[in-house]
Structure 1
Amino acid sequence: MRSIISDQDADILRDTLMPRRTMLYGCAAVGGIMATPLSSAFAQTASNANAPGAAEITVDRARNEPIPIVIPSFGSGNGATITQVVTDDLSNTGLFRVISSTSSSATPDFASYKAMGAHAVVTGNVSGGRVEFRLWNTLTGQQIQGTAYSFSGSSEVRRVAHMISDVIYERMLGEKGYFNTRIAYVSQTGRRSNPTKRLAVMDYDGANSRLLTSGKWLVLTPRFSPVSNQIAFMSYVNDRPRVYLFNLQTGQQRILGDFSGISFAPRFSPDGRSVVMSVTRGAGSDIYVVDLASGSKRQLTSSGAIDTSPCYSPDGSQIVFSSDRGGKQQLYIMSASGGGAHRISYGSGSYASPVWSPRGDVIAFVRISGGFSMGVMAPDGTGERILTQGFTVESPTFCPNGRVLAFCNQSAAGAGGAGFSSSVRTIDVTGFNERAIHTSTMASGPSWSSSNT
């Protein structure tokens, strides 16, 4: 069998996509980046995160009243990049109103910033390969966070900026940020009738996009591992659709469960040790789970229908999937070990592509009823809400904190395919702040990583 990519390409990918360790707020190494805590520049304590006003803005309140925050200039060159990335990260959430400042003083003018209505202010600077930043509560004059980052090259500057944004988001809102993450997707070029679709990965904001496969074989439905540098996806190698596993550390790939039928719709378990997928059987399909270490396969459904798009609950105890066992595609939940399943969707039309939120509180889905829409519902099927609609909306995927969804949005095509577009967009789980992620090619099938490992 011919490899999806050449050994030479795999060697290049191995050298450029080495794994990086997850950041901690103490002294920590993240790839070539070192993070060191900074003490308060004033007499106030720098470690009292529970001080009045330190992080008292809730996400719900910030939606109605975006938090005014002063972001200064970190300087020219790398400093300008950090200023822009942090500003974009926070602004694009819709939860912050960024106030720009040319001040580079390490001592904030709290009275002036209070007059501007700012609730928080950032001070920082870049010197060589070191970035220092501090986050202050304007109302109390207390330092909320202070961290210095040491990095080895300009290629790491954007990542440092995303780390700073994550710290600000968490300290102001009380939830983990999601800026230092990546999205796997399908890059599409060529004619719509005969497209070239390649596996690709990018930073969450569309920067640093990399193509991982050559385009010789069609690829679909990439899925990031929650714990490692691996992506499961379906590829049409030798015109036989099967699920493959791509290793971002080595650039190599392998078949995952060599079934006699077509395998598709993969999804990792929360611990990353197995992958659940659909496998065709006659006119239907069953759900199987494949252990990554041993390669052993276990069948979970045998309904005689089309059972597909399985996704684990965050604790790994249940699986939501789509099935036409009741006549048309609806959503069902069963134990992760298989067995009886109960239906949770009862709206008009058909339901597909379910994905469980990392928070466990909702399941996102695509509903087809005349047109396409994307929504969320509780795991028991209650509280269904439509977030967005379009000619085609598909492939919902949650960011790590469960507050934002990425998805594919496609437009209708005119004569000869003219006017067709396919892009990745994001939207808040409440249905506000829908935005497009800029990519150099058409894009589809997004999958959000748990971190930028």
Structure 2
Amino acid sequence: MTDTTLPHRPGLTRRRALILGAGALGAASTFGLRDAAAQVRLQITEGNFQPMPIAIPDFFGGSAADVETARNVSAIVTNNLRRSGLFAPIDPAAFIQKLSGADAPPNFADWRAIKAQALVAGQVTRQGDGRLAARFRLYDVFGGQQQAGQQYTTTPENWRRIAHIISDAIYERLTGDKGYFDTRIVYVDESGPKDRRVKRLAIMDQDGANVRYLTRGDDLVLTPRFSPSTQEITYMSFGQGDPRVYLLNIETNQREIVGNFPGMTFSPRFSPDGQRVIMSLQQGSNSNLFVMDLRSRATTRLTQSPAIDTAPSYSPDGARICFESDRGGSQQIYVMPSTGGQAQRISFGEGSYSTPVWSPRGDTIAFTKQGGGRFAIGIMRIDGSGERILTEGFHNEGPTFAPNGRVIMFFREGGGQSGPSLYSVDITGRNEQKIPTPSFASDPAWSPLLS
């Protein structure tokens, strides 16, 4: 079994309207793994996909005091895998065998009888130094063998991260893709009457837990975006007249102004190496794209268009950007080199396209599409082919990818709601989930996997 130590961590579109109007988890040692010619693996297709039945009994507690924490860890693992849409956790009432311990060999025939394809057994114990140790084993039920086994240690208050990391390990072993559960979401929390809405930056775990506020609500805030380091975000604030672009360290809460720019500033976003911020600056009735080097604070203009160019997003390798522009008469998506140059239009469907964002996988671009009084969230290949609508409604906007590129979060308002809420949908469009937040919520941004 691998032993890992976890570091402690303290806990028309809106943007368009504005433009026009204004201790460490250490590595675990793999135990008892046997190679096999065939191991259970989830095949993800867009056809007649069936979630994998998986059995996750309550984890064992090393002592009576650990039992509740152990059960909470297994409950989060269960919920994470269920919400992914790729797994179907089996009702514990159907279990035939009652495991005697996390390391006790399963009776695979009993688990095959209830159609389980995978089985997870785990335990959480308190060590002599007060730290928590959590371990799990993942079994291939039909192959009758263990597929993975790891142990993690952390401080007691970090038990939720252990649950997310175990979820990621199971997800990766069974799908072949990296997980996305040990991540955070930064978003705009909205509270109060609609005509006097208070907007604060907030951050939470990807499942809606551990909400923490990063700003007090004194100033209007918009479009928070994560740095690839996960420790810093960039966002817009309308604190003193014109909007300013800020950098905020989400652990220390220290912030600094990226720069003072004449006119309006919109849609700041980091480059993949975290060394640059790309943004849109309004100049008169139009706006163009600029990039700032965060070390030298030198600013370079990327577009020279008598139109509105905005919402830039880098490709994962940093070589290209996608952005939206009305240079052709309506809002559409364009792609060009990240250093500037010829821009190629890639969206040609009916309606207008906005808020493009490049997938971390590099193969698709997500977007908001408006037409017929409805807003849709969709994806297309980077050459514009293969457009697919994932979800639509009265007002959907602001897609952001999970770090593995398989899930998109966005916000929705209208349709009977008195304010915006966060939702997620997978890239097949099959699995849509509402994300719980204490208040109304908009403008989500998904972090990379935490380290």
Does 1:94 pair with 2:85?
yes
Task: Give aligned pairs, total.
Answer: 418
TM-score normalised over the length of structure 1: 0.89
Alpha-carbon distance in 1 for matches of 2:105, 2:382: 49
Partner residue, 1:425: 423
Which of the numbers 337, 353, 356 marks the counterpart of 1:354? 356
Which of the numbers 31, 39, 42 marks the counterpart of 1:57? 42
Matches within 5 A, 1:48-447: 48=35, 51-60=36-45, 64-75=49-60, 76-99=67-90, 100=92, 103-105=99-101, 106-128=104-126, 129-153=132-156, 155-370=157-372, 371-412=374-415, 419-447=417-445
The DSSP-based 3-state class of the residue aligned with 2:195 is coil
User: Contact between 1:362 and 1:379, CA under 8 Å: does it hold in 2?
Assistant: yes
> Larger deviation: 89-98 or 60-69?
60-69
Amino acid aligned to 2:315: S
Alpha-carbon distance in 1 for matches of 2:274, 2:289: 17
The DSSP-based 3-state class of the residue aligned with 2:148 is strand
User: Contact between 2:6 and 2:154, CA under 8 Å: does it hold in 1?
Assistant: no
- The CA deviation at 1:412 is 4.4
Alpha-carbon distance in 2 for matches of 1:394, 1:450: 21
TM-score normalised over the length of structure 2: 0.89
- The CA deviation at 1:239 is 2.7
User: Contact between 1:63 and 1:95, CA under 8 Å: does it hold in 2?
Assistant: no
The DSSP-based 3-state class of the residue aligned with 2:240 is helix
The DSSP-based 3-state class of the residue aligned with 1:87 is helix
Residues 401-431 of structure 1, C-alpha deviation per residue, up to 9 Å, x if partnerless? 1000000011146xxxxx5121100001111
The DSSP-based 3-state class of the residue aligned with 1:86 is helix
The DSSP-based 3-state class of the residue aligned with 1:167 is helix
User: Contact between 1:247 and 1:253, CA under 8 Å: does it hold in 2?
Assistant: yes
Distance change (3 Å), C-alpha of 1:113 and 1:349? same
The DSSP-based 3-state class of the residue aligned with 2:317 is coil
User: Contact between 1:136 and 1:145, CA under 8 Å: does it hold in 2?
Assistant: yes
Alpha-carbon distance in 1 for matches of 2:24, 2:48: 33
User: Contact between 1:73 and 1:104, CA under 8 Å: does it hold in 2?
Assistant: no
- The CA deviation at 1:69 is 1.1
Gaps spanning 5+ residues in structure 2: where?
9-22, 61-66, 127-131
The DSSP-based 3-state class of the residue aligned with 2:219 is coil
User: Contact between 1:72 and 1:104, CA under 8 Å: does it hold in 2?
Assistant: no
The DSSP-based 3-state class of the residue aligned with 1:373 is strand
Partner residue, 1:16: none
Identity %: 46
Residues 66-124 of structure 1, C-alpha deviation per residue, up to 9 Å, x if partnerless? 11111011142111110110000001111111123553432211111111111111111
Partner residue, 1:19: none
Distance change (3 Å), C-alpha of 1:260 and 1:163? same
Amino acid aligned to 1:232: T
Distance change (3 Å), C-alpha of 1:145 and 1:411? same
Distance change (3 Å), C-alpha of 1:125 and 1:324? same
Alpha-carbon distance in 1 for matches of 2:48, 2:403: 19
> Larger deviation: 160-169 or 371-380?
371-380
Partner residue, 2:19: none
User: Contact between 2:56 and 2:74, CA under 8 Å: does it hold in 1?
Assistant: yes
- The CA deviation at 1:47 is 5.7
Gaps spanning 5+ residues in structure 1: where?
1-24, 414-418
Amino acid aligned to 1:146: G
- The CA deviation at 1:343 is 0.7
User: Contact between 1:132 and 1:149, CA under 8 Å: does it hold in 2?
Assistant: yes
Amino acid aligned to 1:426: S
Distance change (3 Å), C-alpha of 1:61 and 1:387? closer
The DSSP-based 3-state class of the residue aligned with 1:30 is coil
- The CA deviation at 1:39 is 4.8
> Larger deviation: 60-69 or 135-144?
60-69
